[in-house]
Chain A
Amino acid sequence: MIRRLWESRSGWLWLSLASFSTLVLLVIFEMRLVAPEVDRYFSQHDNVTGHQLATRSRVFVHDTLEELLKDEPSHEAASMSLEIAYGFLDIEIYRDRYACTENSLAVLESWQSRLMSTPSPQVGQVTKALLPVLECLTDIEIGQRVQRSVTVNEFVDEARNHQTLLLIGTLIVYLLGLVFWWFHEKQRRATERASRETLEWMAKALQDPLTGVGNRNALHQQIAKQPDEMVGLLLVDIDHFKPYNDCFGHPEGDRLLRKLVGLIELSMEGEARLYRMGGDEFAVLVSCRSRAILRKRCADLVDAVHRQAIEHPASPIGAIVTLSVGGVWFRPADMEFEDAYAAADAALYRIKQAGRDGWEVADPPYEMATAPVTGPSNVDL
């Protein structure tokens, strides 16, 4: 299951969210259910029901005596007070816990009846009879207070244990949430890393390792990305590169290739993409809105290499490195890449045939004058 969770991209995230949701539910449970129960238990000190039933019974026994002590006592009112006192004392818990309860109830019942009969009893008699009842009520009150203290202590202990458990539970759930989140984060990073590596490998697969520019596949992809844009494709060949290698060695030849890449990029003012097609042959893809602009790019490129005057003692056409450039201006949507490539290659071939160190842009394969200008502006002739 752990493995399945690990493999599932969102499994840990859901577990983490579930943990934090549980945490919220625990807090709500504490606030909505436990706290009101505590309030209900402890918040009754100031109202009449906060008093013990025995205390309330005592109040009505006192009322009876007070009524009887009046100059013109109402025996009915006194009897009613005893009746109410009886109701407050007639509690099963009192009967169970306090032996005096049964006797007291019998006394209350007896005197409540006698108060309503004639002749009415004397106050002294009633007082004397009710004294044991009052003593019993006192015993009950004390006993209940002790009982309440015990209950409160138990309640407090229980509440403390509950809080401890809740705290531990909350911490565990919180830590679980963090752990799940950490797993999720780890998994997300691993996925990201894998994606990045894949992209890097994909990029490397499209890159020439020696010069760092794109390879033939990259050129194909780039052409496919901009089918409606007018572009210039230049094929650049280093004149007599093999004698250069023979003269200076292959490491120096490699350095020359890298240097020329920099020169080409500089000449194109950073607006062109370079691709190494193999050996000493490069392709340059540049957005341009007219054939004339492309022609100027070619001239600038050849001149730029001339100006560098890179020594080439083995060259049969001069003492410096020179380039041969063949180009074509086209829109990929209108012309197959293979055809454009062949046109540029043919132009390059003609330059080589003409003695190298030059450039040529192939004649337009269709009426370019009507072609829309969609690419970014280059140098305006």
Chain B
Amino acid sequence: MIEPVKLADFFIVFFSAASVIMFGATYALLFAWSRMRNRPRLMPLAYLGYVGLFISVIVLGVHANLFNSTFWTVIVLLMLLGYLVAPQAIWHLCVGTHADEHEPDPEHVKVFQQR
């Protein structure tokens, strides 16, 4: 079912696991920041964050021996996909839930809705 991590890989597993979450947050925050401040130039940085996440997940998968079993491979794929969509979904929820917040000040709303 599981194949334990090799001793030599401990550090890289801890590090890549932490990176997954950190890059995930970076991606989510930059994505949100870019949309919120209407700075499209930040968007590539956000996706760079996702690239970092992608690499971290793969490194984690390799060193935690996740690719040796179908189930854990599926988990890796779900992580790659889920962590790609989740920050966007979160962003849309932020906008959606605040949609009627600035009725007297529609420019703000427009900024979000242009995308």
A and B interact: no
Binding site for B on A (CB under 8 A): none
Name B residues whose Cβ lies closer than 8 Å to a Cβ of A.
Answer: none
